[in-house]
Amino acid sequence: MFFLRKSSSYFLFGTLLIPLNYKLPSWHTSIYSDIKPNTISFTAGSLSIHVDSSSSPLFYMLPKPILVRTVKVQGEISGLPSLKRESEDSKKGDDLAFRLGLVEPSVEPPSIIARFLAPNWIRILLDYLPEQGIKTVRFLTISQEKSIGAFRFHPQNDVIQEIVALRKRTPGKFEINYRFKAPAPTRALWIQPDGDDTQSQFTLKVNRIELETVETVSRKKTK
């Protein structure tokens, strides 16, 4: 951690290593009502998610909101979604071996009516953010088709953004090192590989998640 002076303020840079330990209360699993859930396990400091024609969210709630400028991930994938003739952008091919979402909260929670009408995944996450809403979820993904930096709003909900952090066409180890153009406000992490649309089977193993953060600190005035 170090400081960079800028006029009357400092930029405070830091590194946050996400603990891959399910015994911590910060990790939360959930399921969708109409989709088979993934199988999640934590062993020897790593996270394994087995996908078997399945999909389900795994959330990590941060102690406080942070600004993330860089995301680094190390892991391994035993297989990839079976796209066949489908595209990742199609409904039948909308599966990815890796999704890591940075959840940006809104200032105020949604109304009771808005919450009732919200998609299931939003209601699930709001259970862990009772006094806030959800402004944006920025998913960093591994794509078989698209180049690094490719961007889209998810067709089912424009709250979700997807940014390709790595292009990978074969199973095996991977490393992601993605820096945002502007720091991303983040209150929670959302991990979700899926194979429900393509009826795919594979395992995602995550060995390390590291966030580089930045904070603006005002200097105290001296007399």
- List, for residues 150-198, the tens digit of each pLDDT value: 999 988 788 899 999 999 999 999 999 999 999 999 999 999 999 999 9
Name the band, by pLDDT with cuts 50, 70 and 90, for residue 90.
confident
Percent of the chain clearing pLDDT 90 (strictly above)? 60
CA dist 171 and 79 (Å) reads 5
Alpha-carbon distance of 124 to 223, in angstroms, equals 51
Task: Report pLDDT digits (tens) over 23-44.
Answer: 778 898 888 888 999 999 998 8
Q: Would you say the pTM of this structure is higher than 0.85?
A: yes
Element (H, E) at 2: strand 2-6
Instruction: Kindly state the DSSP code that residue 121 receives in the 8-state scheme.
Output: H
Which domains occur in the chain, in start order?
A: 13-218 (2.60.120)
Paired with 107 in beta bridges are none
User: Per-residue pLDDT averaged across 90-118, rounded?
Assistant: 86
Helices and strands (H, E) in the chain, number of each type: 2, 12
